[in-house]
Amino acid sequence: MPTAFSPLCPTAGPTVNVPRSMASDPTQLTIQFQPEQRVDVIDVNQHVEQEAEGFLRNHEQALYCSYHTTAGYLEETICNRLDQCQDQVHEFLDPFRELFPYGADYQHDQLHLRKELSPKQRRTEPRNADSHLTFIGSGLENCVTYPSTPARPVFFIDLDGINKDNQDRRERRTTVIGYDNERIVDQTELEVPVSDHSIDSVSLRDPRLGIFKTLHERLAARGITTGRVHLELVPEEKHVGLTVNEYETLLMKHDLVEVLQDPLQFMARKGRNMLRDPGAIPDKAKNYAKYDLVRLVNKVVDTLGLSESLIERIIDKCLAVPAERFLRMKRSVSLLVTEDEANGEGTIEQGRYQSPILVQWRPSEPQTRRVRATFTRFE
C-alpha cells in the first residue's frame, strides 16, 4: 500500500496553498517521553500541547518523525480507518505480533553472534527481532504527515518500549514540523544495485552506494533546509518494497529472509501452535500456519471494516504470493530534512540505527532497482 503523498497527486498539484495572511514560517519541536509498556500507543499531540501549547494551531499541516527502528507511526488513512482509537490500533497490531512472537529463535536475538556488540552491550541489548519484523511487516513509518489539529490524536506506536529482559523503559524522541505549504523543487531517479538472489536487502545509507551523498548535494544545490526527501519505487518495479529500519546483518540476511521465503512456514516454526504437537511438525506445520493465516487475516480485515468477500480474496492471494499480500511492505518512504547548524545546509534526519532499506523478494533482471527521489520544501 503506497504512502499517501499529496503533493504528487494529480489533483493536488505541486503546491498545497493556504491564504497568504494565514501562512507562517515552518516551526520545529522535538519532544522526549517514555512508554508505559512494551507495546504502547501514545498520542503525541498531547505531549506537543503540554510542551508548547498552541504549536499545532499555528499551521495547516504537521510532519511527525520518529528516530527509532522499533517505534513509528501509521499513515493517516489507516489511522482514520481505525477511528483514531488506541484500542483499535492495538487490534490492528495483534496479528503481526502473533506472526512475529517475542522470544522465538530469531538470529538477531542470538546476542553472542552479534559481532558489532561489545561484551557489555550484549548484557544489556534487548532481544527485539519481533519488534523490528512487526515494524516492517505492519507498514509502520518513520515519517508521516497529518493535519495540524491539536484535538486529533496522532499515535506514536512503540513495539519495544520496555526491555523484557531487565524491564528498563526506553527513552523515545520524535520531532514535529509545523508548516503550511509543501512545494516540490526537484526530482531525480536513482539506480540501486541488487544481487542476483531472489531475496535481497540493500541499505540506501551505505556510503559505498553514494546515494545519501547525491541526496545531500541536491538539497544544498536547491537550498532546501526544511522539507523532506520522498523515495518511491517507480511503477515498473515489482516484488520489492521500502522500509526504514536497522540494517543489522542477522536481522536482514536471516530473519527477514526466512519470512519472505515462506511466511506460512515461518509462522508455523515461530508460533505457539507447535507446542500442540511437536512430533508432527514436518507433516502439520503448514496446515497449522494456514489455519493461523486465515484467523490473522480475519483479524486485520475485521479491524479495518472490510467485507467477507475481500477476506477470501486476501487469503487466496496470501497463499499464492504471501510476502506481497500479507506483509504491508511499503513502496515509498519519506525522510525529514532540517537545517544543519554547522553549515546552514539541509541534512537528512536519521536516528543512530535508522536506514532506508530496499527489500526484494524476487530477482531483478538488470540487477538494479529504480527509485524516484522527490525533494520538497516546507513553507
What is the torsion angle, in degrees rounded to the nearest 10, for the CA atoms of residue 171, residue 174, residue 175 and residue 181? Answer: 180
Superfamily for 6-378?
Answer: YjbQ-like (2.60.120.460)
Cell numbers at residue 372, please?
524516484
Per residue in 315-338, pLDDT (tens digit) is 444 444 445 555 788 999 999 999
- Looking at per-residue confidence, does 285 or 137 come out higher? 137
Per residue in 204-215, pLDDT (tens digit) is 999 999 999 999
pLDDT of residue 228: 97
CB crowding 365-379: b at 16 or more within 10 Å, else e? eeeebbbbbbbbbbb
How many residues does the structure list for the chain? 379
Backbone angles phi, psi at 43, to 5 degrees: -80, 105
Whether 287 shows a pLDDT value over 80: the answer reads no
- Residues 21-33 have a mean pLDDT of 84
Confidence band (pLDDT; 50, 70, 90) for 288?
Answer: very low
SS3 282: helix
What's the mean pLDDT when you consider all of the chain? Answer: 84
pLDDT of residue 24: 75
pLDDT of residue 374: 98
Per residue in 157-192, pLDDT (tens digit) is 999 999 998 999 999 999 999 999 999 999 999 999
Cell numbers at residue 229, please?
526527501
Burial bucket for residue 9 (CB in 10 Å: 0-12, 13-18, 19+)? exposed
| Max CA pair span of the chain | 72
CA 169 to CA 317: how far, in whole Å? 39
Per residue in 325-372, pLDDT (tens digit) is 557 889 999 999 999 999 999 999 999 999 999 999 889 989 999 999
Domain boundaries of the chain, sorted by first residue? 6-378
- Looking at per-residue confidence, does 7 or 84 come out higher? 84
Model-level pTM? Answer: 0.82
Query: Any bridge partners for residue 336, and if so which?
Result: 228
CA 325 to CA 320: how far, in whole Å? 9
Cell numbers at residue 100, please?
512475529
